[in-house]
Amino acid sequence: MTARPKILLTRRWTEEVERYLAERYDVTLNEHDVPMDAAALTQAMHDFDAICPTVSDHLGAPIVGTPGARVKVIGNFGVGFNHIDIEAARKAGITVTNTPDVLTDTTADLAILLMLMATRRAGEGERELRAGRWIGWRPTHLLGQDVSGKTLGLVGFGRIAQATARRAHHGFGMRIAYHSRRRADVGIEGQCGSTYYESLDALVADSDVLSLHCPGGAETHHLINRARLGLMKPTAVLVNTARGPVVDEAALAEALATQQIAAAGLDVYEREPIVHPALLGLENVVLLPHMGSGTLETRTAMGMRVARNIDLFFAGQPVHDKVV
């Protein structure tokens, strides 16, 4: 009887997906659900046929390129794969897949949530109430901003950005502007009346809400830096559901503390799970613990997407969602 392929899930997944994989493979779970260190991940490259990592697992070249590795496929739980050294995987002949499409709407919902929480000072108000500091309604207390009729600027215009644009335009009557490496088709622009900006700096300066939807990596590291924060309106709000390193957190904390910009809403951070300490004491920033795809339905769909690619790989068929 042929031995079943050995698969490692580096974190706990939803019950439905774990059960599906366990019925088909020799699956090892991370029972304690804590990040695995480099030594454990390196050893796993020798012990398993497939590793299924998440964004919290940093698979750099020393790990992916481990000599004599047994792993032949990395099924990434997530769309972004900047935590995996793709060139090292290519050189080692390791297939890497990801999970596009399935988290688009859920993450767009969270971008809108952060926008509303930041503009309406909802986090600040909730903290005040829970701390017993609320003394009752009054006309000028915690005045926020309306979003209707305001300009939503999108940095990047992929699936999630487009879904965010549709919600903002059709739901709140916002004007949509965007900057990306390539201009979208006219038909896509027309779905939400969006305007293309060739200049990122011009988009930053014109936006009432600036929402980030660009990939991670060297090209976008600190794309929103002290200089670009200085271009934003004093009433503007920054939202980041993309990748933490896109924003210079120290510069952002300074801009918020000095009211250079009005507020921010963040779901991702430069050094997760560490958050810049200067942000933690500020009232005008909403901080969420990387919840962008965090619904049972979406996380299950993501896991099943990985599982089906694993099925295809071990059946000797072309996988879907192939990164390399």
Q: Which residues are catalytic?
A: 243, 272, 290
Radius of gyration (C-alpha) of the chain in whole angstroms: 21
Phi, psi of 144 (to 5 degrees): -105, -150
Asked whether the beta carbons of 152 and 176 are under 8 A apart, the reply is yes
Q: Is 273 helix (H, G, I), strand (E, B) or coil?
A: coil
d(CA 175, CA 195): 8
CB 54 within 8 A of CB 78: yes
Whether 28 and 50 have beta carbons less than 8 Å apart is answered as no
Render 59-110 in DSSP notation, one character per residue: B-HHHHT-TT----EEE-SSS--TTB-HHHHHHHT-EEE---STTHHHHHHH
Residue at token pair 């969602």 = 321
